[in-house]
């Protein structure tokens, strides 16, 4: 068994009990049994003590094989999915098998061809391992847990290699991105701090709209978008960045959208969980997307701040909160798709289906057939469910899901793996779909070359009279408001 370096923190014992994992490995040297000298080339050094890192323990099975244990989310042992770690001190042509042995989920896209991500010092662009080198199976040696094994050959002795569940998107990267947008001094881009997390990280709120829409007394149609409430769902940040990049661009469609709509975006609701390398929970072990009914200002401060703002906008007669979209990533399904709510009012239910139908026309990776509408009791505390019950009949609330792995092109069965750019493209398509929804196309058709529409499946029919916007018969106002709001309302070199 591996011997621990004197400088490495205790990351568990070798009894096979992964419940004792308490933190990430830090420059953890794996030495052969009976070896007590200085580490030689090929004695692997594992590290996950960096932002968004996660690896709780390493057991050497043989010279060529290692069992890896995911560190559970802080203060919540239930969730073990995200991993992100480095390996160094490798030997050229050294072949290894890594077994990730303690996933908390049984179903996984690893069954369907998904593979971990890898990059190295000399090749800093993330890429997927070849699926032929990845195996997902139930293992009797690990309490019949599901294990993901992958084979790898190190080829550059001086490189540090990094492996991750999916493309990482850290809190620091997000802050640098927002800083770069601010430096452009755009008069239609506003950044403010809506609050702070438990560990005092910023909860950023972006407002993207024409300054005319923010003048005192102006009526506003608001599209509210949130992301990364589940920190390990990194594709959410790429989709969100795609939305933002498009909306602040000089594209004619973006200019028209800014003139007619106000976009409020909180791209990272769980900055502590993102920083810590958690999969689903906050610093204090809460799944924030189950606490919308009554978020605590001290335990769930970011959620509390966003909910307060939404309630404030809801009670403002000049503000029409038209859409709430919460962006997630899905670990067992392909494509992008949406979850919506079920209403007793049939017309409202039908109108709610229009936006995903239009998005299906614009995005080749979005599937309307995978989109579903439900009121599952387990989801009662989610943003979509809570706000769907709080807001009036002119507002629509969705969860936008995108696969951790791939999408299927219409007419084929081939899975196309997502890239960072493909995730951002979905975000751009989400943004441009508001042009179709509000029937603003005539305003840009004379000055813009129409964007190509890629259809992967036949879109379901919808009735135009139900659309809102300048050419719609549906009222643009907010309708009757509730008199008060109860806050507790229910391939490559690798």
Q: Which residues are catalytic?
A: 401
Asked if 116 and 91 touch (Cβ cutoff 8 Å), the reply is no
- Residue 33: Cβ-neighbour burial (10 angstroms; 0-12, 13-18, 19+): exposed
How large is the C-alpha radius of gyration of the chain?
24
Give the list of residues 6+ apart from residue 94 with CB closer than 8 angstroms, or none: 42, 153, 154
Rounded distance between C-alpha atoms, residue 385 and residue 26, angstroms: 41
Rounded distance between C-alpha atoms, residue 183 and residue 239, angstroms: 22
Rounded distance between C-alpha atoms, residue 354 and residue 396, angstroms: 10
- Strand (E) or helix (H) holding 319: strand 319-330
Asked if 486 and 478 touch (Cβ cutoff 8 Å), the reply is no
Beta-strand runs (E) in 73-160: 84-88, 94-100, 117-120, 123-128, 134-138, 146-154
- CA torsion sign for 482, 342, 288, 357 is negative
Asked if 82 and 270 touch (Cβ cutoff 8 Å), the reply is no
């Amino acid at each position: 068994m591996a011997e621990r370096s004197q400088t490495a923190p205790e990351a568990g014992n070798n009894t096979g009990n992964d419940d004792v994992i308490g933190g990430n490995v830090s420059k953890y040297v794996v030495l052969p049994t009976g070896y007590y000298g200085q580490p030689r080339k090929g004695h692997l050094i594992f590290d996950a003590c960096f932002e968004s890192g996660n690896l709780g323990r390493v057991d050497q099975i043989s010279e060529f094989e290692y069992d890896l244990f995911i560190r559970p989310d802080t203060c919540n042992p239930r969730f073990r999915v995200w991993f992100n770690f480095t390996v160094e001190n490798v030997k050229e042509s050294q072949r290894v098998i890594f077994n990730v042995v303690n996933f908390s989920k049984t179903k996984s896209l690893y069954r369907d061809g998904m593979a971990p991500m890898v990059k190295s010092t000399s090749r800093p662009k993330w890429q997927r391992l070849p699926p032929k080198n990845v195996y997902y199976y139930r293992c009797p040696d690990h309490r019949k847990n599901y294990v993901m094994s992958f084979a790898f050959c190190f080829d550059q002795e001086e490189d540090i290699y990094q492996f991750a569940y999916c493309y990482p998107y850290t809190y620091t990267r997000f802050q640098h991105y927002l800083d770069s947008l601010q430096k452009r001094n755009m008069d239609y881009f506003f950044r403010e701090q809506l609050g702070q997390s438990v560990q005092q990280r910023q909860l950023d709120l972006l407002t993207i709209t024409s300054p005319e829409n923010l003048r005192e007394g102006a009526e506003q149609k608001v599209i509210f978008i949130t992301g990364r409430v589940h920190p390990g769902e990194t594709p959410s940040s790429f989709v969100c960045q795609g939305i933002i990049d498009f909306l602040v661009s000089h594209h004619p469609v973006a200019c028209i959208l800014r003139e007619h709509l106000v976009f409020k975006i909180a791209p990272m609701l769980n900055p502590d969980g993102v920083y810590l390398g958690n999969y689903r929970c906050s610093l204090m072990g809460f799944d924030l997307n189950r606490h919308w009914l009554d978020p605590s200002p001290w335990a769930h401060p970011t959620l509390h701040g966003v909910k307060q703002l939404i309630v404030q906008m809801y009670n403002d007669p000049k503000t029409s909160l038209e859409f709430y979209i919460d962006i997630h990533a899905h670990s067992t399904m392909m494509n992008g798709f949406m979850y919506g709510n079920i209403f007793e009012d049939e017309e409202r239910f039908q109108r709610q289906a229009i936006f995903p139908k239009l998005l299906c026309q614009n995005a080749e990776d979005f599937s309307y057939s995978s989109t579903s509408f439900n009121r599952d009791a387990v989801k009662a505390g989610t943003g979509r469910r809570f706000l769907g019950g709080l807001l009036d009949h002119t507002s629509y609330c969705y969860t936008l899901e995108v696969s951790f792995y791939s999408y299927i092109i219409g007419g084929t069965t081939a899975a196309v793996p997502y890239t960072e750019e493909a995730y951002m493209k979905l975000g751009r398509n989400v943004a441009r779909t508001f042009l179709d929804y509000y029937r603003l196309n005539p305003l840009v058709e004379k000055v813009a070359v129409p964007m190509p529409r890629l259809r992967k499946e036949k879109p379901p029919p919808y009735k135009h009279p139900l659309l809102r916007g300048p050419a719609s018969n549906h009222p643009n106002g907010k309708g009757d408001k509730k008199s008060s709001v109860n806050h507790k309302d229910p391939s490559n070199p690798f």
